[in-house]
Chains A and B, each alone.
Chain A
């Protein structure tokens, strides 16, 4: 009786839950009160043990959405409660989901099936390490039966899909979040990779074999196609798995994997994942004729459906091609070490299928132009790319020779030429298949031409390859020039692109350059003749025809030439490219060396821009940009190269004897442009061209930026160039103009900064240090004098607001910043004096310009840069002057800005004001961090009789001034927040002893900030706070165990003078950290750092920790949980032989303990 009644009540309850969920789902769809509906659904997944209700809804609801939500709720609840479900419960849940999927295999609502099967997969993964082998076998037996097709095609289809979601659950990049540690995920991944992937693969392969035969034989069979597609997709998924454990080492790689270049990801636009599954897969993938079956399957299908043009883009065709592509990228120990025979054979099989997609190139491209889908061709290109990635160039070339009279490289270059031809007939800004094909093929070239060692570049490229490269490059140049002509007049649409063009095209140009360098004998002379041809065209047409097209062609050519003959520096001095060093060995006379001829043509052309008449007619700003860019790039490799310098020294008997080296072709070029050859003349031309762009192209910011930041910087980076630079008349003229002429104040202020920096850096070329300091004084005197004079003016307040004065002050401050940023030990003295002479002016200006945020920022930034450069070199007395000044600056800034509210009618201006404030504060924090570095690095000559400044005290005082200015609103700016907390945590970590000495107000503020930071969203901020906390607590613990006061009265419990805080600060933090760990959301990355902080806190406040633990344990109503919790608490402090010393080993043990503790209890603590 009672049982029946209970059943009845249960049924009523389940039905009402179902109705509620259904109603909620409908209301979400209808958009009526979605928040309430979501809350209803959430309450289901949050309720304890909602499994009955979920299953009931999944089985009985007519509404697909409700079934979907119920499955989700089931998953959430099970993952949460997993650790205290019985093993029967767990098995039942998974079985239920699997059976559900199989039973409803034919259901039209595919998304519900997908959801349920992913729930099954996730639960299986959650319990993966706990299930016994036989349990797993039982699950997979069902799946295997289903895949074999014993329950029909529908079930076969869903079971393959189940495997797909299972494998994606186990791959770390696609798994869903379950709050489990990385070790767990890694173990699962290892287990499935070693024990199951291959089994799964064979199951699906067999399924595919079966259905594929039927597809080819019969005419109908959409279900078979569906299953076959799913199987192929699953095979693809396994082929893209990142094999780690089975490809048993990197050491014994056979010759094929030697050719795999890890560095080619740099230039890649196309994705190519090299698959390295290891020897265990050899049988399955290679020996069984699997690859040939795939190729044949695709060909058969292709033949069968050849009448349907759309077939190429059908899912099954796409999937099959992708699997073939992955087979092409197979590499590593899966192949035996038989000299690459099996690999070659394997690739040959694949190529025999792939070649039908791309050969003959002209016919294929014609078909595509007349409407055929391009995806087969593109996949063909990708297959070539994959093969080129896993083989050496000569093996790559040899592949085709067994089928055709020519090699693969020939086919490949024909294909590329065809693509380029099609590209030339198209509008330049239209993205078409030929664009994509070109990019893939360019990547293939890159794969062929770059080798990991870099030394054997051409040695491995067969002669056919060199020819192919030459002919492809010819077409590339042609198409680039044609593109240049065509793009001249469509300006406005692309104008945004134009500015970025030089760097945006870099990637493509770099691939072009690689191709050109493969055949330098042809390509360098080709570029020279094209360049000269366009030049003469430009001169002949002067004043008669519109030169724009020719200018644009020259622009493209300059970029190309720059890429071909020189490498990008990227912060280091680039060498002359290997390809150029190794070629042209038979040229003895430098003047006739092709690279010298080419370089000289460009330099002579650049020189023509000095003539005002030529400048106005043929040197457009854009053309000048290319020239400046070229000169900067070229000068780094060729102009007065230090290598040549050494060699010359050696020749004249000055250098050491170990410089003997075979320079080959490079020596001739470098000698030509050395200080003994034409180097000085060229340098002079370059400086005069720079002066021209700065003086004669007013308002051309981009051009002037290139000149200041790239070309001039490139020159002063090399000491041996500086030596000659400072001697040049033209350089001195430029310096004079910079200091005295108004025209250079018209430059963009940041370029003026860069110029000032350049001038200071050029002192590297001055031999004597006194002269160098004098040089600095000469360069900077106009800045300091003017600012000092300005501040002495009596009517300063009224004239300071004039726009022209503001502009001037801004420019001078930027120049000072530039100079300060170029600090070197040798010239530190004069730069110190420079700063010292404007300190007073800076304080005056800060007050005067308090409303002019742009000027304020510059003032602060100047101080930051100056202090940064100086601080480590300063003597004790100088340090105290600088520190004193910094504190005055902070105080003044604070008094001018604290409590200030901006009243603007415009919200944009208000938010700008906020941003400005944030930037100022960041600068102040940077200043304080700069001061901090004095304690870490100090080059001053240590004399003990002068009293030294206590840096930590100063910085804490500075923080005390700055902190009130930083509002919670401002901490929402991530950069400011980050800077602030990193400074604070640095201070607390390095000087915990200072905290005890802070006064009450400062102390409270520091702690409140820490508490705020602990609950911040940014993981970095939280971990910085935790580190600070760790430092504080460890310091206190260590001191108190030695009987010293540690952090003093403020730290220990119950003795806070104001009485606001019940416990000491450490006990407060213990409380809030425990709360955070147990009840709040945080990234699992934080657990380690949190453990480091928690451990010393517990040691400091053992009594409180006991009380808190007991409170939590008593708070548990469920006796089961209560005992688990108390066991966990016990284990936390006693497992792994944890003792109460704060050494490294103990901390590591505690980390482990805490992780285990959280996994054990967090699940139920958070739900209760």
Chain B
């Protein structure tokens, strides 16, 4: 009996410490993705302001036709879906998105955009999310999505043409990048709040 008690106490302590560690990691991940999202917003607005009016109109129209490169990644698009998803699912989706953009951000040909810096930040964030996944993975739930490495989302980049398309492509890339970063930020925040002890994510 004593042994059980001791074992339980040890486990609980370990779990609490793990949760504390998780919380800390989540906080770090959230803050990092927030920063990346701010950068994406900034670069997108800079790009838009650098365009001429006519180009802006065209791009607005174009936007509806093309896809974001990350559209193939199925992700919750409203609150209900998000809250229905498990933490692990949210984390995996976030990881996939980050990975996608880690690759795709290098295709932005706009000179002002710091490709390498962004890519580096994204890779670091990806590492952090993977750590969180490992920490929260029960082992039972295995994501088949994560195993399949789809190149198709990136396919349209290879189809891209030359200079005429560069403006359009940059616009697309920057817009989609901004949107996806906000997605990841939301997912991570929701997951973090769900895992917080009191489930009251007021901070």
**Are A and B physically bound partners?**
no
B residues engaging A (CB < 8 A)?
A: none
